[in-house]
Structure 1
Amino acid sequence: MTDRRIPRHPTDDYGREAVARRQEFVREHTESALQHTSAYSLDPATLPGNIENFFGAAQVPMGLAGPLLVNGEHAQGEFFVPLATTEGTLVASYSRGMKLCRAAGGATATVIDDRMQRAPVFSFENARAARDFRSWLDEHFAEIAAAAESTTSSGKLLDIQKFSVSKLLYTRFNYSTGDAAGQNMTGKATFAACAWIKQNYPGELHFLLEGQFATDKKTSVVNMLHTRGKRVVAEITLPNDLVQEHMHVDVQKLFNARQRSLMGSIMSVTNNNGSHSANGLTAMFIATGQDVANVAESSAMYGFTELLPNGDLYASVTLPALIIATYGGGTGLATQRECLEMLDCYGAGKVHKLAEIMAATVLAGELSLASAVVAEEWVQAHDDLGRNRP
Structure 2
Amino acid sequence: MDVRQRQRRVAPPAVGHAGAPRVLQAGDALPLPIRHTNLIFSALFAASLAYLMRRWREKIRSSTPLHVVDLTEILSIFGLVASLIYLLSFFGIAFVQSIVSSSDEDEDFLVGPPAAPAPSQCGLLGGADAVVPEKMPEEDEEIVASVVAGKVPSYVLETRLGDCRRAAGLRREAVRRITGRQFEGLPLDGFDYASILGQCCELPVGYVQLPVGIAGPLLLDGQRFYVPMATTEGCLVASTNRGCKAIAESGGATSVVLRDAMTRAPVARFPTARRAAELKAFLEDPANFDTLSVVFNRSSRFGRLQGVQCAMAGRNLYMRFSCSTGDAMGMNMISKGVQNVLDYLQDDFPDMDVISISGNFCSDKKPAAVNWIEGRGKSVVCEAVIKEEIVKKVLKTNVQSLVELNVIKNLAGSAVAGALGGFNAHASNIVTAIFIATGQDPAQNVESSQCITMLEAVNDGKDLHISVTMPSIEV
TM-score (norm 1): 0.75
Name the residue aligned to 1:377. Answer: none
SS at match of 2:423: coil
Q: Which has the larger radius of gyration?
A: 2
**Which residue in 2 is equivalent to 1:287?**
437
**1:151-192 deviations in Å (ceiling 9; x for gaps):** 223211111112345444322100111222122222222122
State the match for 2:265 in structure 1: 119
User: 1:36-47 alignment to 2 at 5 Å?
Assistant: 36-42=186-192, 44-47=194-197
Alignment of 1:106-185 (within 5 A): 106-137=252-283, 138=285, 139-185=287-333
Cα gap change, 1:43/1:170 in structure 2, threshold over 3 Å: closer, same or farther? Answer: closer
Q: 1:31 to 1:121 in 2, by over 3 A?
A: closer
Instruction: Deviation per CA, 1:92-125: give whole Å up to 9, x if none.
Output: 1111111111111111122221111111234344
C-alpha distance after superposition, 1:36-70 (max 9, x if no partner):
52122445235422221123221111112122111
Asked if structure 1 preserves the Cα contact closer than 8 Å seen for 2:210 and 2:232, the reply is yes
1:194 corresponds in structure 2 to 342
The percentage of aligned residue pairs carrying the same residue is 34
Matching residue within 215, 228, 232 for 1:86 = 232
Code of the aligned partner of 1:266: A
Which region of structure 1 is more displaced relative to structure 2, 42-51 or 180-189? Answer: 42-51
* Correspondence for 2:450 among 297, 300, 306: 300
Aligned-partner SS, 2:394? helix
Closer, same or farther: CA 45–264 of 1 in aligned 2, 3 Å: closer
Q: Which residue of 2 aligns with 1:212?
A: 360
Equivalences for residues 20-59 of structure 1 within 5 A: 20-29=169-178, 30-33=180-183, 36-42=186-192, 44-59=194-209
Number of positions where the alignment pairs a residue of Structure 1 with one of Structure 2: 319
SS of residue matched to 1:317: strand
C-alpha distance 45-244 of structure 1, shift in aligned 2 (>3 A): closer
CA distance in 1, matches of 2:392, 2:473: 32
Go from structure 1 to structure 2 and tell me whether the alpha carbon gap of 1:277 and 1:35 turns closer, same or farther (over 3 Å shift): closer
**Aligned ranges for residues 361-380 of structure 1 at < 5 Å?**
none
Q: TM-score, normalised by structure 2?
A: 0.62
Answer yes or no: is the 8 Å Cα contact 1:118–1:210 preserved in 2: yes
Q: CA deviation at 1:284?
A: 0.7
Q: Distance in 2 between matches of 1:31 and 1:123?
A: 47
Deviates more, 1:306-315 or 1:14-23: 14-23
Distance in 2, matches of 1:319 and 1:155, equals 23
Alpha-carbon spacing, 1:14–1:300, altered in 2? closer, same or farther (3 Å): farther
Whether 1:67 aligns to 2:214 is no
Residue 317 of structure 1 deviates from its aligned partner by 0.5
Distance 1:218 1:206 in 2: 25
CA contact (8 A) 1:23 1:34 kept: no
Q: Specify the SS of the correspondent of 1:153.
A: coil
Aligned partner letter, 1:85:
T
Structure 1 counterpart of 2:187, one-letter code: T
The C-alpha deviation readout for 1:209-256, integer Å capped at 9, x for no partner, is 322111210011111111111111111012222201111211011111
CA distance in 2, matches of 1:89, 1:239: 24
Question: Following the alignment from structure 1 to structure 2, what is the Cα–Cα distance between the partners of residues 248 and 150?
Answer: 55
Q: Using a 3 Å threshold, how does the CA distance of structure 1 residues 283 and 47 change in structure 2: closer, same or farther?
A: farther
The RMSD of aligned alpha carbons is 2.3
Q: Which has the higher contact order (CA 8 A, sep 6+)?
A: 1
CA shift, 1:7, in A, is: 5.4
C-alpha contact (below 8 Å) 1:273/1:301 kept by paired residues: yes
CA distance in 1, matches of 2:176, 2:271: 58
Alignment of 1:293-332 (within 5 A): 293-311=443-461, 312-324=463-475
In the aligned structure 2, how far is the partner of 1:160 from the partner of 1:266? 31
Amino acid at match of 1:252: Q
Structure 2 unaligned spans of 5+: 1-144
- Between the aligned partners of 2:185 and 2:241, the Cα distance in structure 1 is 33
Q: Take 1:45 and 1:245, find their aligned partners in 2: how far apart are those partners?
A: 47
Rounded Cα–Cα distance in structure 1 between residues aligned with 2:231 and 2:376: 25
**Match status 1:247 vs 2:247:** no
Q: CA deviation at 1:131?
A: 3.3
Residue in structure 2 matched with residue 355 of structure 1 by the alignment: none
CA distance in 2, matches of 1:134, 1:277: 37
1:259 and 2:407 aligned: yes
